[in-house]
């Protein structure tokens, strides 16, 4: 009888062991019944095109994507719908119609809006955010929030966020963060980077290269009257540096960058010292303590100069702000 009991215990232990080994596990080591769970470090990918065909408003979504890809055709200086922007396309800043990982994509827009933004000091909707781009990056005028075009752009952004829960921000969303330099970014060094790696596309004068139609850009202007203005996100060095680090020059990607971190910061400094349209920012940042470390215009609450806020080094500013924050919480 005792031998039989020992055999039963042994058989049970073998069964349990095989069951555990055959059960999928998540990265934390906990067992899971879902074998196809998406790894947390996998970069976001846009929904498959086939899913679009099943949407009741597929035509509206397609029009929204078309507006992102070819903004100038519809809404540029000679636009067929309205003439309200500078000739750049939305996808000049939001690559591949806002679908490229770390390409300033729209992955987390629908899942995170409406949200409070320090820049306006208010709760912002997606249409408000879209119009910010029209007024800043496209140096133009806002769209009617009830217009066919705005509704289509919002529908497209919503479709790109399919499958994400409220508040989700998947890996690869937006723009990559480039580590701070231990020195100020150098426009002089950046000019050398620009000449070697950017000029062939964006031209020596930085004003881009027009297509044969002389109406749309093959390569967008990085400065000059048809580029983004001083209120645009890319006018902050960290945004520009992160954008080019993961995407520029042509052929670069997050996994295969061409520029070093120093080159990315320096070329950002060079480009953003060139002349461009200005914007009235007097209503921005009602709480000056909420300004980003690299916001280039004062006043500031941390005691650092406008020059350092524009070019760095940024680590001392970060350290000081953390100290001030800790004092308030103790």
Q: What is the pLDDT of residues 215-226, one digit of tens each?
A: 899 999 999 999
The whole-number pLDDT of residue 315 equals 98
- Under a CB-based contact definition with an 8 Å cutoff, are residues 121 and 287 in contact? yes
Reported in sequence order, the residue ranges of 225-280 that DSSP labels E, i.e. its strands, are none
237 touches 269 (CB < 8 A): yes
Contact 17/9 with Cβ under 8 angstroms? no
Q: Identify the CA nearest to 267 among candidates 234, 295, 220.
A: 234
Quick one: tokens of 61?
Answer: 């979504």
Of 2.40.30.10, 2.60.40.10, 1.10.760.10, 1.20.1050.90, which CATH number belongs to 55-160? 1.10.760.10
Mention every residue, 6+ apart, whose C-beta is less than 8 A from residue 13: none
- The class that CATH gives domain 187-329 is mainly alpha
Per-residue pLDDT band for 42 (boundaries 50, 70, 90) equals confident
What separation, in Å, do the N-terminal and C-terminal C-alpha atoms of the chain show? Answer: 69
The torsion angle over the Cα atoms of residues 286, 292, 295 and 301, rounded to 10 degrees, is: 60
Give the model confidence (pLDDT) of 164-196 as tens digits. 999 999 999 999 999 999 999 999 999 999 999
Yes or no: say if 267 and 259 are a contact pair by the CB < 8 Å rule: yes
Contacts of 55 (CB under 8 A, 6+ apart): 61, 159
* pLDDT tens-digit map of 63-93: 999 999 999 999 999 999 999 999 999 999 9
Closest CA to 147 of 79, 228, 95: 79
Q: Two tokens at 117? A: 């933004």
Q: Tell me the two tokens of residue 314.
A: 């940024």
Contact 184, 116 (CB under 8 A): no
Report pTM: 0.85
Q: Counting every residue, how long is the chain? A: 330
Q: What is the pLDDT of residue 60?
A: 98
Q: Are 226 and 208 in contact (CB under 8 A)?
A: yes
Domains 55-160 and 187-329 alike in fold? yes
Q: Which helix (H) or strand (E) holds 218?
A: strand 217-219
Q: Say what the pLDDT of residue 9 is.
A: 39
Nearest by Cα to 157 from 117, 128, 118, 120: 128
In this prediction, residue 41 carries a pLDDT of 60
Give the residue extent of every domain in the chain.
55-160, 187-329
Q: How high is the pLDDT of residue 328?
A: 83
CA 122 distance to own-chain centroid: 20
Confidence check: pLDDT of 18 > 90: no
* Residues 285-315: tens digit of each pLDDT: 999 999 999 999 999 999 999 999 999 999 9
Other C-beta atoms lying within 10 Å of the C-beta of residue 321: 16
> What integer best gives the mean pLDDT of the chain?
89
Q: Which SS3 state, helix, strand or coil, does residue 210 take? A: strand
Q: Is the dihedral of CA 242, 247, 250, 256 positive or negative?
A: positive
Which helix (H) or strand (E) segment holds residue 117: the answer is: strand 115-117
Biggest CA-to-CA distance, the chain: 94
Query: What average pLDDT does this structure show over 224-251?
Result: 97
């Amino acid at each position: 009888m005792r031998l039989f009991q020992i055999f039963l215990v042994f058989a049970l232990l073998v069964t349990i062991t095989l069951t555990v080994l055959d059960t999928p596990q998540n990265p934390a080591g906990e067992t899971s019944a879902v074998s196809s769970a998406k790894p947390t470090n996998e970069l976001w990918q846009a929904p498959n095109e086939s899913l679009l065909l099943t949407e009741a408003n597929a035509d509206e979504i397609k029009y929204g994507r078309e507006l992102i890809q070819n903004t100038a055709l519809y809404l540029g200086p000679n636009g067929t719908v309205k003439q309200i922007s500078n000739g750049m396309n939305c996808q000049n800043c939001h690559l591949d119609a806002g679908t490229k990982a770390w390409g300033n994509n729209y992955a987390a827009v629908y899942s995170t809006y409406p949200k409070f933004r320090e820049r306006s000091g208010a709760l912002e909707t997606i249409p408000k955010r879209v119009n910010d781009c029209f007024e800043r990056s496209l140096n133009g005028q806002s769209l009617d929030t009830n217009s066919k075009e705005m509704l289509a752009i919002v529908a497209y952004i919503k479709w790109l966020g399919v499958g994400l829960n409220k508040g989700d921000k998947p890996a690869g969303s937006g723009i990559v963060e480039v580590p701070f330099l231990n020195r100020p970014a150098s426009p002089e060094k950046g000019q050398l980077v620009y000449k070697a790696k950017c000029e062939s596309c964006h031209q020596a004068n930085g004003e881009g290269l027009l297509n044969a139609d002389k109406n749309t850009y093959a390569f967008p202007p990085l400065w000059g009257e048809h580029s983004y203005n001083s209120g645009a996100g890319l006018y902050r060095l960290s945004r520009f540096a992160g954008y080019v680090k993961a995407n520029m020059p042509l052929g670069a990607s997050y996994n295969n960058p061409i520029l070093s971190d120093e080159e990315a910061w320096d070329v950002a400094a060079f480009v953003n010292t060139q002349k461009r349209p200005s914007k009235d920012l007097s209503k921005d940042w009602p709480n000056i303590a909420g300004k980003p470390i690299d916001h280039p215009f004062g006043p500031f609450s941390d005691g650092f100069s406008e020059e350092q806020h524009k070019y760095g080094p940024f680590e001392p500013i970060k350290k000081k702000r953390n100290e001030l924050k800790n004092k308030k919480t103790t």
